[in-house]
């Protein structure tokens, strides 16, 4: 019998810190006394990005974020920047939720209205939780799907499709890729730290999540490996290429397609 050793959901979510920057979720409590605390409290929520509500901090924060990514990638194609920005945010959301589920066997309420988004920052300074409020439903796959897929990824995808014309299949491919990547990193940490119960729980949760009707078509899984059925468009970035889980083996135009996108 495997003994699961979980820790209580603490107000600073400190158990996420050893997992790496993409897993960390800062809280206003952990920011208390820091110079940035007051500014963070004024940052717009993710709910505003999904609803496309104008913020006094960045104007339209979703437009700001996509434009910033386009500038950093030196790529004027906003559709490409929107895809890359989407995958990064999806990776953060999956990492935080999966990390909490695996380490705490519980989830804080990650309602978009409670998450502040610094759209100009990188992990782990991009997301801040205003209140650590444990969800009563625990941390099973249904709760994870409700929190991440329905609470965040669906409204985010809708906003990006409407504004930038990013394909639905591409966006759910991003979501599947982000989930698979978070699972691999969590498994790597767990095995290196001798926490096989965390690795086992992660695998069980991820197996169930990939059975979700929005995620199951996103790619093919072979153990921890994942091959998506779409392309995130990173090959269109100057100096970019295909990612390790891409449906292409080489950038389109340089070789025949390895799979349909």
- Indicate the range of 12-21, 23-32, 71-80, 106-115 predicted with least confidence: 23-32
Indicate whether 145 pLDDT > 90: yes
* Percentage with pLDDT > 70 across the chain: 87
Closest Cα to residue 95, out of 149, 22, 157?
22
Q: Which residues contact 54 (CB under 8 A, 6 or more apart)?
A: 60
Task: Kindly indicate the confidence band of residue 5, based on its pLDDT and cuts at 50, 70 and 90.
Answer: very low
Confidence category of residue 260, pLDDT binned at 50, 70, 90: very low
> Which phi and psi (to 5°) does residue 254 adopt?
-100, -15
Of 155, 251, 182, 169, the C-alpha closest to 215 is 169
Per-residue b or e along 121-143, where b marks 16 or more CB atoms closer than 10 Å to that residue's CB: eebbebbbbbebeebeeebebeb
* Among the listed residues 210, 240, 186, 233, the one whose alpha carbon sits nearest the alpha carbon of residue 66: 233
What is the β-pairing status of strands 127-129 and 115-117?
antiparallel
pLDDT at res. 165: 95
The reported pLDDT for the residue numbered 117 is 94
DSSP string, 66-125: HHHHHHHHT---HHHHHHHHHHHHHHHHHHHHHHHHHHHSS-B---TTTEEE-TT--TTS
At residue 75, the pLDDT reads 84
- How far separated are the first and last CA of the chain, in Å rounded? 43
Task: Band the pLDDT of 1: cuts 50, 70, 90.
Answer: very low
- pLDDT for 38: 65
* pLDDT computed for residue 9 by the predictor: 84
How confident is residue 88, by pLDDT bands cut at 50, 70 and 90? very high
Structure tokens that stand for 163 in this block: 């504004």
Q: What is the pLDDT of residue 257?
A: 43
Least confident segment among 190-194, 225-229, 251-255 = 251-255
d(CA 213, CA 153): 14
Bridge-based pairing state of the strands 26-27 and 127-129: parallel
pTM exceeds 0.85:
yes
Chain-wide mean pLDDT for the chain? Answer: 88
Can you give the residue ranges of every domain in the chain?
A: 14-236
pLDDT tens string 7-53: 578 889 999 999 999 999 998 776 555 556 667 778 889 998 888 65
| Contact indicator for 99, 186 with CB cutoff of 8 Å | yes
Question: Taking residues 156-174, what's their average pLDDT?
Answer: 95
What is each CA distance from 7 to 74, 96, 198, in whole angstroms?
43, 15, 12
* pLDDT tens per residue across span 233-245: 999 999 999 999 9
pLDDT digits (tens, 9 = 90+) for 195-217: 999 999 999 999 999 999 999 99
Q: How far is the C-alpha of 130 from the C-alpha of 253, rounded, in Å? A: 47
Altogether, the residues listed in the chain come to a count of 261
Q: What is the pLDDT of residue 261?
A: 41
Q: What is the dihedral sign for C-alpha 52, 89, 172, 199?
A: negative
Maximum alpha-carbon separation in the chain: 56
Q: How far is residue 220's CA from residue 91's CA, in Å, rounded to a whole number?
A: 18
- Which of 67, 69, 160 shows the shortest CA–CA distance to 169? 160
């Amino acid at each position: 019998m495997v003994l699961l050793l979980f820790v209580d959901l603490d107000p600073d979510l400190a158990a996420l810190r050893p997992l790496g920057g993409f897993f960390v979720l800062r809280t206003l409590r952990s920011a208390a006394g820091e110079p940035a605390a007051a500014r963070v409290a004024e940052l717009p929520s993710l709910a505003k990005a999904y609803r496309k509500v104008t913020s006094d901090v960045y104007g339209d924060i979703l437009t700001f974020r996509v434009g910033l990514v386009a500038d950093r990638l030196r790529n004027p194609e906003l559709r490409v920047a929107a895809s890359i920005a989407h995958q990064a945010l999806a990776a953060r959301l999956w990492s935080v939720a999966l990390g909490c589920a695996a380490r705490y066997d519980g989830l804080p309420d990650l309602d978009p209205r409670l998450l502040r988004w610094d759209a100009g920052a990188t992990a782990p300074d991009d997301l801040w939780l205003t209140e650590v409020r444990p969800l009563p439903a625990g941390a099973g796959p249904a709760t994870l799907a409700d929190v991440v897929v329905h609470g965040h990824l669906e409204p985010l995808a809708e906003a990006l499709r409407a504004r930038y014309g990013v394909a639905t299949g591409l966006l759910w491919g991003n979501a599947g890729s982000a989930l698979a990547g978070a699972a691999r990193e969590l498994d790597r940490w767990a095995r290196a730290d001798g926490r096989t119960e965390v690795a086992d729980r992660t695998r069980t949760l991820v197996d169930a999540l990939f059975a979700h009707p929005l995620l199951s078509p996103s790619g093919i899984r072979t153990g921890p490996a994942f091959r998506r059925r779409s392309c995130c468009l990173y090959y269109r970035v100057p100096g970019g290429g295909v990612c390790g889980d891409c449906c292409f083996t080489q950038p389109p135009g340089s070789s025949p397609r390895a799979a349909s996108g």
